[in-house]
Amino acid sequence: QVQLVESGGGLVQAGGSLRLSCAASGLTFSNYRMGWFRQAPGKEREFVAAISQGGVKRYYADSVKGRLTISRDNAKNTVYLQMNSLKAEDTAVYYCAADFIYSDEAFAKEYEYDYWGQGTQVTVSS
């Protein structure tokens, strides 16, 4: 049974930082590209960042480039999202997802991902 469990969310002031973690179990973690998505109230879920199986390739949404950093530790079966210079518009539920890679180009597409976590709330106060 595959499980992805996010943690690290919370309430932070604008300009502050948070580090999200996503612990994976029940799969061969190093075989999966990992992604972070988010869903703000009243909006559709959107792509945030993704990282290749070995961590060499990283992809970001334009809205987070330079502020958020995705990384992974395959020995710990964990993917991270370091969030700096947070803005009110970063407020959302953040989800991690695992992708066995059917398309190299579809890293930002929800349908590409096979497994999802339950999400963790990030609230940025202005």
Instruction: Find out whether 103 and 83 touch, Cβ atoms under 8 Å.
Output: no
Residue type, 74: N
Q: In what order do the strands lie in the sheet with 18-25?
A: 3-7, 18-25, 78-83, 68-73
- Rounded to an integer, the average pLDDT of 34-45 is 97
Residues 58-115 have pLDDT tens digits of 999 999 999 999 999 999 999 999 999 999 999 999 999 999 977 888 899 999 999 9
Residue bearing the bigger pLDDT, 126 or 47: 47
Out of 28-42, 52-66, 94-108, 112-126, pick the least confident. 94-108
Question: How many CA atoms lie within 13 Å of 36's alpha carbon, on the beta-carbon side?
Answer: 33
Relative to beta strand 120-125, strand 10-13 is parallel
State residue 14's pLDDT score.
98
